Amino acid sequence: MIESKNITEVQLDIEKIRADFPILSRKVNGKPLIYFDNGATAQKPKSVIDAIGNYYSNQNANIHRGVHTLSQEITVAYENARSTIQKHLNAEHAHEIIFTKGTTDSINLVASSFGKKFIFQGDEILVSAMEHHSNILPWQQVCEERGAILKVIPINKEGELIISEYKRLLTDKTKIVALTHISNTLGTINPIEELIALAHVKNIPVLVDGAQAVPHTNVNVQLISADFYVFSGHKLFGPTGVGVLYGKEKWLTEIPPYQVGGGTIKTVTFEKTEYADLPLKFEAGTPHIEGGIGLAAAIDYVNKIGLNNIAAYENELLVYATEALGKINGVKIIGTAKEKASVISFIVDGLHPFDIGTILDQLGIAVRTGHHCTQPLMQFYGIQGTVRASFAFYNTKEEIDLFINGLERAIKMLN
């Protein structure tokens, strides 16, 4: 709620926070970097970088395999990382946390394994009109393989899900709902608890794409009662190549393994394999060990600042930038939901987002331009793409001022 939200002026020591992120002191095209592409990936604090360095300098060994000290130490560290994630999400069990390569990988896992077990000819899978391609394509593929039908919850012009339509689309045929918690393109925060509750009335499980939510809000998977909740480490100030699938024990037990191989078994003969218990059932091969450790370091870092503080501060940035953009002639914000995270997409009359992004880049300002992997959403708005600025807690109002100046300059140059 941009206007009416009760903004507490948050007391965060931004200068001190910025000093934790080495990359923020570099220059781009001769100008101090202004990094407004946090929705694509977030920068990493020193503690995360150090955790990864320390792993290779002092801890490297394979996990779950050796009796030797190094192997045991790193196995404990890796399992501690899992517990850190469990506590952060308030999951009931540590074995409900599966390490994956990222959001996309997690969704593919669920789509494939859930699909094999529960989706049949004529069944329906429900997604929304604002989903990232990563939360569309895996489901589309399951539909093709299983003869099921993909249904889409429409949105209004503001970029909010139309709840009455959602209710109408939840039928006896619906086998699973896959929804984003926060839209990477529009910034819309979906009322996820309510949406899940509505599906649960009909006993339909819900997968939540939390890629954009975990960097901005506290997520309590038991409170919202998500059946599956997925996110990427790299958008949460952690390493790339690692992500999380949270799944309720009941579901993870019922669905079959996804990839199989070393690490996923109890006993193997050439005739038959008995698979390991959770979580190893879903973790084939040597995992991204330093990724898991780095992700736990990132979560510790974020929790030291406090996600409530982060959300409040980022909302100040959002309000500030929204007001400033609103004053520029020809700028139209795409995505004006009442509940929004610090993601602003906009277009400028007569100008191509690519051109604006190119000029801003010359000024050291990193924004994203294009369709943001949400082409169906672009089709809904009848546009080719947008310019997107997405803020993290290390961004400042001074940076927004420079961005607005840069944008005005770009508009002048391009007109």
Partner 1 sequence: MTIEEIENEIVEEFEMFDDWMQKYEYLIDLGKSLPIIDEQYKTDNTLIKGCQSRVWMHSELKAGNVIYTADSDAIITKGMVALMIRVLSNHTPDEIMNAKLNFVEKIGLTQHLSPTRSNGLLSMIKQMKLDALAYKQIS
Positions in the binding site for ligand PLP (CB under 6 A): 102-104, 132, 134-135, 180, 184, 209, 211-212, 232, 373
Judged on CB neighbours under 10 Å (0-12, 13-18, 19+), 310 is buried
Give the residue with the Cβ less far from ligand PLP, 239 or 406. 239
Binding segment (CB under 8 A) for partner 1, from list 40-48, 67-75, 338-346, 351-359: 351-359
Give the residue with the Cβ less far from partner 1, 120 or 354. 354
For residue 58, give every residue at least 6 positions away whose Cβ sits within 8 Å of its Cβ, in sequence order, or none. Answer: none
Q: Does 315 participate in binding partner 1 (rule CB under 8 A)?
A: no
Give the residue with the Cβ less far from ligand PLP, 106 or 396. 106
Supply the minimum distance, in Å, between the C-beta of residue 297 and ligand PLP.
18
Q: Does 385 participate in binding partner 1 (rule CB under 8 A)?
A: yes
Q: Residues in contact with partner 1, total (CB under 8 A)?
A: 16
* Dihedral of alpha carbons 340, 341, 347, 348, sign: positive
Supply the minimum distance, in Å, between the C-beta of residue 30 and partner 1.
9
Q: Does 384 participate in binding partner 1 (rule CB under 8 A)?
A: yes
For residue 240, give every residue at least 6 positions away whose Cβ sits within 8 Å of its Cβ, in sequence order, or none. Answer: 41, 102, 232, 233, 234, 291
Among 366, 371, 374, CA closest to 347: 371
Residues 1-40 that bind partner 1 (CB under 8 A): 29
Supply the minimum distance, in Å, between the C-beta of residue 189 and ligand PLP.
12
402: partner contacted, choices partner 1, ligand PLP, none (Cβ within 5-8 A by kind): none
Q: Does 359 participate in binding partner 1 (rule CB under 8 A)?
A: yes
108: partner contacted, choices ligand PLP, partner 1, none (Cβ within 5-8 A by kind): none
Q: Does 402 participate in binding partner 1 (rule CB under 8 A)?
A: no
Answer yes or no: 373 catalytic: yes
Give the residue with the Cβ less far from ligand PLP, 74 or 211. 211
**Judged by CB under 8 A, which of 284, 370, 376, 404 binds partner 1?**
370
308: partner contacted, choices partner 1, ligand PLP, none (Cβ within 5-8 A by kind): none
The tokens for 385 are 């793409």
**Judged by CB under 8 A, which of 163, 319, 402, 414 binds partner 1?**
414
* Dihedral of alpha carbons 85, 198, 104, 317, sign: negative
Give the residue with the Cβ less far from ligand PLP, 123 or 314. 314
Pairing mode of beta strands 174-180, 124-128: parallel
**Judged by CB under 8 A, which of 5, 64, 167, 352 binds partner 1?**
352
Give the residue with the Cβ less far from partner 1, 306 or 370. 370
The residue from 137, 260, 373, 414 that is catalytic is 373
135: partner contacted, choices partner 1, ligand PLP, none (Cβ within 5-8 A by kind): ligand PLP
Query: What Rg do the C-alpha atoms of the chain give, in angstroms?
Result: 22
**Judged by CB under 8 A, which of 113, 369, 374, 396 binds partner 1?**
369
Cite the active site residues. 373
Binding site for partner 1 (CB under 8 A): 29, 351-355, 358-359, 362, 369-371, 384-385, 413-414
